[in-house]
Amino acid sequence: MPTVSIVYHSGTGHTTVLAEAIAAGARSVPGTTVNLLSVEGKDIVEGRYKNEALLATLTVSDAIIFGSPTYMAGPSGQFKCFADATGGIWFNQQWKDKLAAGFSVSGTPSGDKLNTIEYFFLLSQQHSMVWIGTGLLPLAEGRLNRYGVFSGAAAASGYEPPSVKPDADDKDTGAHLGKRVAEAAARWTQ
Protein backbone atom coordinates (compact mmCIF):
# COMPACT_ATOMS: atom_id res chain seq x y z
CA MET A 1 0.00 0.00 0.00
CA PRO A 2 2.36 2.72 -1.19
CA THR A 3 2.20 6.40 -0.41
CA VAL A 4 2.81 8.90 -3.21
CA SER A 5 3.39 12.54 -2.25
CA ILE A 6 3.25 15.44 -4.64
CA VAL A 7 5.10 18.53 -3.41
CA TYR A 8 4.82 21.63 -5.56
CA HIS A 9 4.79 25.39 -5.67
CA SER A 10 2.25 27.31 -7.69
CA GLY A 11 2.31 31.06 -8.20
CA THR A 12 -0.75 31.61 -10.34
CA GLY A 13 -2.70 28.36 -9.91
CA HIS A 14 -1.68 26.69 -13.18
CA THR A 15 0.76 24.34 -11.48
CA THR A 16 -1.91 23.48 -8.92
CA VAL A 17 -4.17 22.31 -11.75
CA LEU A 18 -1.47 19.98 -13.07
CA ALA A 19 -0.64 18.77 -9.54
CA GLU A 20 -4.28 17.87 -8.95
CA ALA A 21 -4.44 15.95 -12.23
CA ILE A 22 -1.33 14.00 -11.22
CA ALA A 23 -2.86 13.29 -7.81
CA ALA A 24 -6.02 11.98 -9.46
CA GLY A 25 -3.94 9.69 -11.66
CA ALA A 26 -2.07 8.33 -8.64
CA ARG A 27 -5.32 7.82 -6.71
CA SER A 28 -6.72 5.77 -9.60
CA VAL A 29 -4.34 2.98 -8.61
CA PRO A 30 -6.14 0.95 -5.89
CA GLY A 31 -4.44 1.02 -2.51
CA THR A 32 -2.41 4.16 -3.12
CA THR A 33 -2.34 6.91 -0.50
CA VAL A 34 -1.79 10.31 -2.10
CA ASN A 35 -0.60 13.51 -0.37
CA LEU A 36 -0.90 16.79 -2.23
CA LEU A 37 1.45 19.25 -0.55
CA SER A 38 1.84 22.90 -1.49
CA VAL A 39 4.97 24.95 -0.80
CA GLU A 40 3.68 28.25 0.55
CA GLY A 41 5.47 31.59 0.57
CA LYS A 42 4.50 32.19 4.19
CA ASP A 43 6.82 29.34 5.22
CA ILE A 44 9.82 31.12 3.68
CA VAL A 45 11.58 33.47 6.10
CA GLU A 46 14.43 35.48 4.59
CA GLY A 47 14.88 32.85 1.88
CA ARG A 48 14.81 29.84 4.20
CA TYR A 49 11.92 27.40 4.06
CA LYS A 50 10.66 26.03 7.36
CA ASN A 51 7.90 23.47 7.57
CA GLU A 52 8.95 20.36 9.44
CA ALA A 53 5.52 18.73 9.12
CA LEU A 54 5.62 18.86 5.33
CA LEU A 55 9.14 17.46 5.25
CA ALA A 56 8.15 14.68 7.66
CA THR A 57 5.24 13.69 5.43
CA LEU A 58 7.61 13.39 2.49
CA THR A 59 10.04 11.30 4.51
CA VAL A 60 7.39 8.64 5.20
CA SER A 61 6.36 8.47 1.53
CA ASP A 62 7.42 5.82 -0.99
CA ALA A 63 7.46 8.23 -3.93
CA ILE A 64 7.83 12.01 -4.21
CA ILE A 65 6.74 13.95 -7.28
CA PHE A 66 8.27 17.45 -7.49
CA GLY A 67 6.44 20.29 -9.25
CA SER A 68 7.00 23.96 -10.00
CA PRO A 69 6.31 26.56 -12.62
CA THR A 70 9.32 27.41 -14.74
CA TYR A 71 10.22 30.97 -13.78
CA MET A 72 13.17 32.67 -15.44
CA ALA A 73 14.49 29.36 -16.85
CA GLY A 74 14.28 27.19 -13.72
CA PRO A 75 12.15 26.11 -10.76
CA SER A 76 10.56 28.96 -8.83
CA GLY A 77 12.53 30.60 -6.02
CA GLN A 78 9.94 29.32 -3.59
CA PHE A 79 10.44 25.72 -4.73
CA LYS A 80 14.22 26.15 -4.57
CA CYS A 81 14.00 27.43 -0.99
CA PHE A 82 12.04 24.27 -0.17
CA ALA A 83 14.65 22.10 -1.91
CA ASP A 84 17.46 23.75 0.05
CA ALA A 85 15.62 22.90 3.27
CA THR A 86 16.10 19.21 2.52
CA GLY A 87 19.84 19.47 3.20
CA GLY A 88 19.60 17.67 6.53
CA ILE A 89 17.50 14.91 4.98
CA TRP A 90 20.15 14.62 2.26
CA PHE A 91 22.99 14.40 4.76
CA ASN A 92 21.22 11.53 6.48
CA GLN A 93 20.04 10.06 3.14
CA GLN A 94 16.52 9.68 4.53
CA TRP A 95 14.97 9.68 1.04
CA LYS A 96 17.35 7.05 -0.33
CA ASP A 97 15.69 4.58 -2.73
CA LYS A 98 12.37 6.40 -2.80
CA LEU A 99 10.91 6.93 -6.25
CA ALA A 100 10.98 10.42 -7.76
CA ALA A 101 9.30 12.20 -10.67
CA GLY A 102 8.59 15.79 -11.70
CA PHE A 103 6.42 18.27 -13.61
CA SER A 104 6.46 21.88 -14.68
CA VAL A 105 4.24 24.52 -16.27
CA SER A 106 5.20 27.60 -18.27
CA GLY A 107 3.52 29.87 -20.79
CA THR A 108 4.95 28.34 -23.96
CA PRO A 109 5.21 24.76 -25.29
CA SER A 110 8.93 24.45 -24.53
CA GLY A 111 9.97 27.45 -22.43
CA ASP A 112 13.00 25.97 -20.66
CA LYS A 113 10.74 23.54 -18.77
CA LEU A 114 13.21 20.80 -19.58
CA ASN A 115 15.74 22.58 -17.39
CA THR A 116 13.32 22.63 -14.46
CA ILE A 117 12.64 18.91 -14.84
CA GLU A 118 16.37 18.19 -15.11
CA TYR A 119 16.80 20.14 -11.89
CA PHE A 120 14.28 17.90 -10.15
CA PHE A 121 16.20 14.92 -11.51
CA LEU A 122 19.53 16.18 -10.15
CA LEU A 123 17.90 16.93 -6.80
CA SER A 124 16.55 13.38 -6.70
CA GLN A 125 19.99 11.98 -7.47
CA GLN A 126 21.59 13.84 -4.58
CA HIS A 127 18.91 12.17 -2.46
CA SER A 128 19.74 8.75 -4.03
CA MET A 129 16.20 8.42 -5.33
CA VAL A 130 15.09 6.42 -8.36
CA TRP A 131 13.65 8.47 -11.25
CA ILE A 132 10.53 7.65 -13.27
CA GLY A 133 9.55 9.68 -16.36
CA THR A 134 6.32 9.94 -18.28
CA GLY A 135 6.70 6.68 -20.20
CA LEU A 136 4.92 8.31 -23.14
CA LEU A 137 5.84 8.61 -26.79
CA PRO A 138 4.95 11.97 -28.34
CA LEU A 139 1.24 12.19 -29.10
CA ALA A 140 0.62 8.90 -27.29
CA GLU A 141 -3.05 7.95 -27.58
CA GLY A 142 -3.21 10.75 -30.17
CA ARG A 143 -2.88 13.58 -27.67
CA LEU A 144 -0.68 12.86 -24.61
CA ASN A 145 2.85 14.31 -24.35
CA ARG A 146 2.29 16.48 -27.40
CA TYR A 147 5.31 18.70 -26.63
CA GLY A 148 7.71 15.76 -26.63
CA VAL A 149 8.96 15.96 -23.05
CA PHE A 150 9.85 12.52 -21.70
CA SER A 151 11.58 13.02 -18.37
CA GLY A 152 8.59 14.62 -16.64
CA ALA A 153 5.13 16.04 -17.27
CA ALA A 154 5.10 19.41 -19.05
CA ALA A 155 2.13 21.71 -19.50
CA ALA A 156 1.60 25.09 -21.16
CA SER A 157 -0.47 27.85 -19.58
CA GLY A 158 -0.62 29.79 -22.83
CA TYR A 159 -1.33 33.02 -20.97
CA GLU A 160 -4.82 31.73 -20.13
CA PRO A 161 -6.28 31.49 -16.60
CA PRO A 162 -5.97 28.21 -14.66
CA SER A 163 -9.60 27.44 -15.40
CA VAL A 164 -8.67 27.11 -19.09
CA LYS A 165 -5.04 25.96 -19.15
CA PRO A 166 -3.41 23.48 -18.61
CA ASP A 167 -5.97 21.94 -20.95
CA ALA A 168 -7.40 18.40 -20.93
CA ASP A 169 -4.51 16.92 -22.92
CA ASP A 170 -1.92 18.36 -20.54
CA LYS A 171 -3.91 17.29 -17.49
CA ASP A 172 -4.28 13.76 -18.84
CA THR A 173 -0.53 13.67 -19.48
CA GLY A 174 -0.12 14.53 -15.80
CA ALA A 175 -2.67 11.92 -14.75
CA HIS A 176 -0.74 9.33 -16.74
CA LEU A 177 2.45 10.23 -14.87
CA GLY A 178 0.68 10.01 -11.50
CA LYS A 179 -0.69 6.58 -12.36
CA ARG A 180 2.70 5.40 -13.62
CA VAL A 181 4.46 6.49 -10.43
CA ALA A 182 1.82 4.85 -8.22
CA GLU A 183 2.11 1.59 -10.15
CA ALA A 184 5.89 1.72 -9.97
CA ALA A 185 5.72 2.39 -6.22
CA ALA A 186 3.54 -0.69 -5.75
CA ARG A 187 6.03 -2.76 -7.74
CA TRP A 188 9.09 -1.29 -6.03
CA THR A 189 7.80 -1.65 -2.46
CA GLN A 190 6.07 -5.01 -2.71
Pick between residue 3 and residue 104 the one whose CB is nearest to its own copies. 104
Residue closer to its own copies by CB (options 61, 78) is 78
Q: Which 3 state secondary structure label does DSSP give 142?
A: coil
Return the HEC string of 17-59. Answer: HHHHHHHHHHHCCCCCEEEEEECCHHHEECCEECCHHHHHHHH
CA separation, residue 157 to residues 100, 106, 108, 111, 161 (Å): 24, 6, 7, 11, 7
Q: How far is the CB of 32 from its own copies (least distance, A)?
A: 18
Question: Which string of DSSP letters, residue by residue, matches 67-125?
Answer: EEEEETTEE-HHHHHHHHTTHHHHHTTTTTT-EEEEEEEESSSSTTHHHHHHHHHHHHH
- Residue nearer to its own copies on the CB measure, 31 or 42: 42
**What is the closest distance, in whole angstroms, from the C-beta atom of residue 70 to its own copies in the complex?**
9
Which secondary-structure segment (H or E) carries 184?
A: helix 168-189
Q: Which residues bind its own copies (CB under 8 A)?
A: 41-42, 44, 46-49, 71-78, 80-84, 86-87, 90-91, 93, 96-97, 106-115, 118-119, 121-126, 128-139, 146-151, 154, 184, 187-188, 190
At its nearest, how many Å lie between its own copies and the CB of residue 8? Answer: 14
Considering beta carbons, is residue 54 or 136 the nearer one to its own copies? Answer: 136
Identity of the residue, 11 or 162, whose beta carbon is nearer to its own copies in the bound complex = 11
Smallest gap, in angstroms, from Cβ of residue 123 to its own copies?
5
Of 168, 124, 169, which is closest to residue 144 (Cα–Cα)?
A: 169
CB of 77 to its own copies, least distance (A): 3
